[in-house]
Amino acid sequence: MSLLTVTARSAATGPVLEVAGELDHMTAPDLRRAVHHLALVAGQLLVLDLTNLEFCDSSGISALLAARNLATEHGVGTALAAVPAHITRILRITGLDRVFTLHPDASTATDPN
């Protein structure tokens, strides 16, 4: 079992959270806490970089939605970057690929142009 790590960094467009490891019922609260600790400013974009996300269950999907909901409450957009194929499949099946903006990588998501 791989633990979850959430690393925050800043980009021109707003905060980027690099989410790595396994996002499941045990680790989803870690992502929720990380998002709650961000200083979100209206007009920013919160990017969740999933490049190194190995596993995501329904609790993980719920945590991604909670991050989006919190961002929306603050007037902040949300995007997912570098979503692994197995998680993209889940997003498509559930229709969440129409809820989240998906980018091929974090640099594309944070490009202010």
Give the pLDDT confidence score for residue 113 in this predicted structure.
73
**Is the separation of the CB atoms in 71 and 46 below 8 Å?**
yes
Of all helices (H) and strands (E), which one includes residue 108?
Answer: helix 106-109
Q: Tens digit of pLDDT for each residue in 39-98?
A: 999 999 999 999 999 999 999 999 999 999 999 999 999 999 999 999 999 999 999 999
Burial of 97 (C-beta count, 10 Å sphere; 0-12/13-18/19+): middle
Sorted by where each starts, the structural domains of the chain and their CATH numbers stand as 5-109 (3.30.750.24)
Give the pLDDT confidence score for residue 1 in this predicted structure.
53
